[in-house]
Each structure stands twice: as structure tokens, then as C-alpha cells.
Structure 1
């Protein structure tokens, strides 16, 4: 029976707790830590847990914890993850992996030294539509991908950034590009690979109680000359999200949509019904996942621990996602095209460099310590979440 600790009792911790509780024969939540212990106590009581409640997570470092879920604000992800890795725990980290690429590298080095697993939450990969889309892309039926599009469109009201750690470069690390679009960017990298160049713009158009952006648009160039784009937003009503891949033969997407075209003699399109039928048959033949979302990723980690295997989303994947996000911030802050990879001497490699160079749109003049405990919106087929 694996002993589990939850570090951070904010809204996203419920997804982790409920995920672990689906595997009661394999693991047990034995501790919850939060700088507001009453929040941790409420989580334990709500789920009927017999969990140790501590204010300082360091009290748990010698308790023989097997698996830790880090559900805190991003600026302390690295410190917590590294401490537990060195103590001999496997670590699951909520998105984003850390506040800087250097911190990601430090986490990965600690994992290598300890021999323990790191998995960064990317629950969209563990959803049936995404797994099916990835399999169809890998089949090659759509042809060479010439354009990729990720729309991570959310809506958050003005008060969203009143929470004490949100809306600051120091503690949240960025706006929706980092904290909402991270899942769509992870999926885009998983399916399409890393671009070589990024040209981006960002702005704050509706939240003058935040330093960070509430809208960004990035253009991507891949090594083969093909293009992509990413929209990250908390100002889009309807919160529509999608991943779209335009191949030479067909267009496929999540949510699922399929169109295949062939050329008439004058170059105008007509539907390729045979290819559409072939792709649809493949899509329909692919299995539905028995477990999805956070629970499926937790199952992936538990299985890797039990079998000595690997995880689908490791610390390398988490770092690659943050690298593209930092490339977007670099380009949007400097007006220059950012070239990937970002090296260790790049200003946007460290948290200190980001704090010096990232654009501050407004001064955060007031804050609240906590919001009332309530459900959060997490999207539909393409899900993100707030801590």
C-alpha cells in the first residue's frame, strides 16, 4: 500500500484526492499539508480521510511517504518537489512544472539522483478524444502536418486575480499562457514536436489588478518550415478550446472533426469521401479509456511505481512545455523572435531573469487571502484547471 501526501489544499487538490481514492487497494492518503491548515483539515473531513494535517510540508519528509502530489502555487513547486525526491518519494507536480527552466532542470537532476519518478500533470493526454487524435496523427493518414492550431480560450472575471498569489510574475509565474494553456501546449508538443522559432504578442485587456497577461497569441515555425499558432486567453466568453491539425490530405481535431479534400482540375476542393471514411473507421475502432483525467494519470504513475516502468508525462515533457511558454513570454516581452531551445544563458531561463525582463501590465494593489470553497470550471473535452 503506497502512502500518499497532498501538498497544497486549494481547489485543484480535489482532483488529486478523488483520483487517488479510485485506487484504495493500491494507495492511501495519509497526510495533507497547507499553509492554511484549516483548508487541509476541511479536505480531509470532506473525503473522510484519516490524514495527518500539517502547516509545514517539511514535517512529512521523514514519514516514509511514497507518492507526493504538489498542488501549490508554481513558485514553490521546485523546492517541494526536490525536498521530497531527496527524501525518497515519487512526485506528481501540478501544472506548470516550476517557475523557471532552471528549476525544472534542478527537479529532473534530483529525480535522476534519487532514482524516483517525476510526473507533471497533463491530464488532457489521458482523455479518449486526445488519445484517439494522437493515434490518428501517428497513422499518417492525414498526411504531413502543415499547420497546427491550439486555442486555449477561457473566461475569468475581474476578481479572479484578487487571490494573493495570482496575477504576479513572482508567485504565479505568468497569466493564462502558463496557467491555462499549459495543457494545450503540452498536447501540441506531444503531437507535433517542438517548434524552432516563436513570434508572440501578449496584452492585459480586462484585468488591471494583475501584472501578467490575460491574452497572448503566438506564431510558431517548425524546423521543416511548417507553421502553427497558439491562443491563450481568460477573456473569451464560451471557453471554447480546440486542437486542429491541417494535413496535406485531411483536417483532424479535438473536439473531433474530420474533413478531407482533393483537388478539382481548377484547384478548387471537393471532399475525399473515401479517405474520410478510412480515417473515421480508424477513429471509431480506437478504444475508449476506462479512466480519464487526473485519475488516469495517477493510475499511470502508480503502475510505473509498481512495475518499475516509465510514466507518459515525465519531467522532460514538463520542461519542454515550460520552454515553449517561456519562448512565448520572451518574444512577447522583447518584440523579438525567440529561437528554441532556450539555453542556460538566456534571460528567460531563470526566475530572476523572467522577473527582470517580463512585461508588467499593471501593479497588483490589493489581494484577498482566500476565496470561499466552491467548484471551479475545468472545461469540457480539453480540460485545464485552477489551483
Structure 2
């Protein structure tokens, strides 16, 4: 039986608790930690947990009965809490974004390597059948090399969304829609196409006056063999329609699912390649759906690794770091108004949290914090 603790009992912790509850024969939540124990106690009652509650997560570190810790706290706390847990010998599953800077990511990775423990970063979108099917077909090579990717992480949030005390600030949230909403699609793009050579970007705050950070960003990724990807992250899009479209040499495949294949006529103009379309559709129909999806899929993944005494998970700390590197490059490219080459070095102006805070643009002054720290 794998014994689990959860640090942070805000809204996202419910997704973790719901997922852990699907595996009662394999794991048990034995502790909750929150600075305000009344919130943790409410969650304990809601989920009918037989667990301890503490206001100081450090009390969990010396508890030898705890094997795995989910970190569900605000982003600016992730690095220190994760490193403390790992060095105490606990496996860690940390919510996205992994951390607020590459320097913090590197500290977390160093702790995981030193402790010989799993560090996994939430990327629940990978554990979705539509995404897994797209990756399955992409890896088959049927569509050919990807020439262009269109990635749209479209969300919509009202102004009051940024009234939460830690949202809408570089210091506490670490960024805007690119880091906190586009992060999933940026992770999926990296998983499917790998890391680009360079990034160009623009960011803006178009509609949220109670926020320092961006609510709209557009980035162009350039790849080694000439491929391009355009990535839009937004919280201003009505309808919240999200998609990934991959234009391959032989066919286009996308989620929501669609396949289109073209062949060349003698004059170079296109005609539909029905045979290839049918082949791709047939190959896709052979995909076996996941037993568990979303947070449950990722928690199943880390439970399997622990049960088999393995450090291998689908999204480990190094995969999580790649996403932060891409987002850091977007911020650097947009702020400095120039193309940024990858990989980023430790000399990057945005490598550290201090560098981010010193150089990031403040689009507006945050005036409203309707929810105080005590109400978090």
C-alpha cells in the first residue's frame, strides 16, 4: 500500500483526491497539510478521509509511513517544498507549472537525483485519448515529417479571476496565460515535435486591468529542418476552443480529430489522397483507449513506477523543465523583442526568479486582492 500526503488543499487538490480514490487497493491518503488547518479539515470531511492534518508540511518529512507527496500549492512555493520532500526520501508529484524559473527547476532535479526519488510534474493532458491517439499516429510516420504545427490554447477568464491574491502577479504566479494556461499545450507540442532551435514571441494584456501579467501571447517556434509552430496562449477567447493541428509532409492530423491527405496532380495542384486518409483512419482505429485519463492516468503512472521500484514516469522532472524552458524563452523573446536561441544558458536574463522579476513587463498595477492569504 502506497501512503500519500497532499500539501495544499485548494481547488486543484480535489482532482488529486478524486484520482487517488480510484485506487483504494493500491494507495491511501494518510495526511493533508495546509497553513490554515480548517481548510484541510473541510477537505478531510468532504472526502471521508481517515488521515492526519497539519499546518506545517515539514511535519510530514520525517514521517516514514509517507511514500508519495502531491504538491498542490501556488506556483511560487513549488521548488522549495518539492526539494524538501525529495531530500526527505519522498516521491513527489507536483502540480503545473513545475516552478517559476529554470534555476528552481534545476534545484528540484538536483534534489531528485540526489535522493533517487521520482519527481513527476502534472501534465494531465497527455493522459487523454485524443492526445494519445494523435501521438500514436504521429509516431507511425504515416503523416510524414511535421512541417507546421498550429497550437491554440484558448481559454476565457473574467476580470474577477485575478482578484485571488496570488494571481496576476509575476512574483506569486510567475507569469500569465502562457505559464498557467498554455503550459499544457506547450507540453504536448514539445512531446510531439521536440525542442525547437529558436523562439520569437509577443505578449500582451488586452482585457484584464487587475493583472500585471499577460492574458494573450503568440509565439513562433523554429525547428532544425525548417518546420515552424505557432502557439497561441490566451484567456480572452470566448468559447475556449482548443486545438492542435499538425501539417505533415503527407497528411494533416489534428485534435479535435481530423485527417486530411493531399497528393499532387501533374501540375502541382492538390487532389485528395483518399487511400492515405483511409490508411491513417484505419491505423487510428486500432488505438486502445486508456483505462484512466487526466489526473487519474498520471497518478496511475506514478503508482506503477513506485510499485515496480522504477524511476521511469511519462512526465518526469526533465520533461517538466523543458516546458519551463520554452515558456521562459517566450517571455525573454517577447520582452527583449528579439529571437531567442535554445537551449537557454544560465546567463539568460530570465534563468532565475530574480531575473524574471527584474525584467518582466508589468502591464497593469494589481489593485484588487479580494481574497486574502488567510482565505486561500
Shorter chain as denominator, the TM-score bin is over 0.9
Q: CA deviation at 1:255?
A: 1.3
> Could you tell me which residue of structure 1 aligns to residue 156 of structure 2?
155
> What's the offset of the Cα at 1:162?
0.4
Q: Which of the numbers 360, 364, 367 marks the counterpart of 2:366? A: 364
Residue by residue, what CA displacement relative to the aligned partner does 1:174-203 show, whole Å, maximum 9, x if unpaired? 001000111111110000000111110010
1:370 Cα offset (Å): 6.0
Taking only aligned residues, the RMSD between alpha carbons, in angstroms, comes to 1.3
Unaligned runs of 5+ in 2: none
Most deviating of 171-180 and 28-37: 28-37
Per the alignment, residue 68 of structure 1 pairs with 69
Q: Secondary structure at the match of 2:106?
A: helix
TM-score normalised by structure 2 residue count? 0.97
Counterpart for residue 80 of structure 2: 79
Please report how far the alpha carbon of residue 108 of structure 1 lies from its aligned counterpart in structure 2 after TM superposition: 0.5
After superposition, where does 1:121-140 map in structure 2 within 5 Å? 121-140=122-141
Runs of 4+ residues over 6 Å off in structure 1: none
Name the counterpart of 2:189.
Answer: 188
Cα distance in 2 between the residues matched to 1:17 and 1:186 = 24
Which whole-Å CA distance do the structure 1 matches of 2:163 and 2:62 have between them?
36
Q: Distance in 1 between matches of 2:119 and 2:264?
A: 48
**Deviations 1:19-58 (Å, cap 9, x if unpaired)?**
1111111111111112222221111111100121112211
Q: Distance in 1 between matches of 2:334 and 2:253?
A: 29
Distance 2:224 2:256 in 1: 27
What is the match of residue 338 of structure 2? Answer: 336
Residues 204-259 of structure 1: per-residue CA shift (max 9 Å, x gap): 01101010000000011011121111000000000011111000100001111100
Q: CA deviation at 1:332?
A: 0.8
Give a deviation string over 1:69-123, Cα, whole Å, max 9, x none: 0111110000100001011100001001111101101101100000000100011
User: Which residue of 2 is the match for residue 41 of structure 1?
Assistant: 41
Equivalent residue, structure 2, for 1:105 = 106
Three-state SS of the structure 2 residue aligned to 1:364 is: coil
Cα distance in 1, alignment partners of residues 235 and 38 from structure 2: 30
Do structure 1's residue 280 and structure 2's residue 281 form an aligned pair? yes
Deviations 1:272-310 (A, max 9, x none): 000000000010111011110101100100100110221
Q: Which ranges of structure 1 fall in alignment gaps of 5 or more residues?
A: 374-386
**CA deviation map 1:332-365 (0-9, x unaligned):** 1111111111111111110000001111101111
1:82-97 paired onto structure 2 within 5 Å = 82-97=83-98
Cα gap change, 1:291 to 1:283, in 2 (>3 Å): same
Structure 2 partner of 1:178: 179
Instruction: Note the C-alpha offset of 1:369.
Output: 2.3
TM-score (norm 1): 0.94
* Alpha-carbon shift at residue 265 of structure 1 (Å): 2.4
Aligned residue in 2 for 1:55: 55
| Secondary structure in structure 2 of the residue aligned to 1:348 | coil
In structure 2, what is the equivalent of residue 379 of structure 1? none
CA shift for structure 1 position 267 = 2.1
Matching of residues 316-335 of structure 1 within 5 Å: 316-335=318-337
2:22 equivalent to 1:22:
yes
Number of residue equivalences: 373
Aligned to 1:4: 4
- Matched residue SS, 1:12: helix
Distance in 1 (alpha carbons) for counterparts of 2:118 and 2:141? 32
Structure 2 CA distance for aligned equivalents of residues 113 and 281 of structure 1: 46
CA separation in 1, counterparts of 2:221 and 2:208?
A: 27
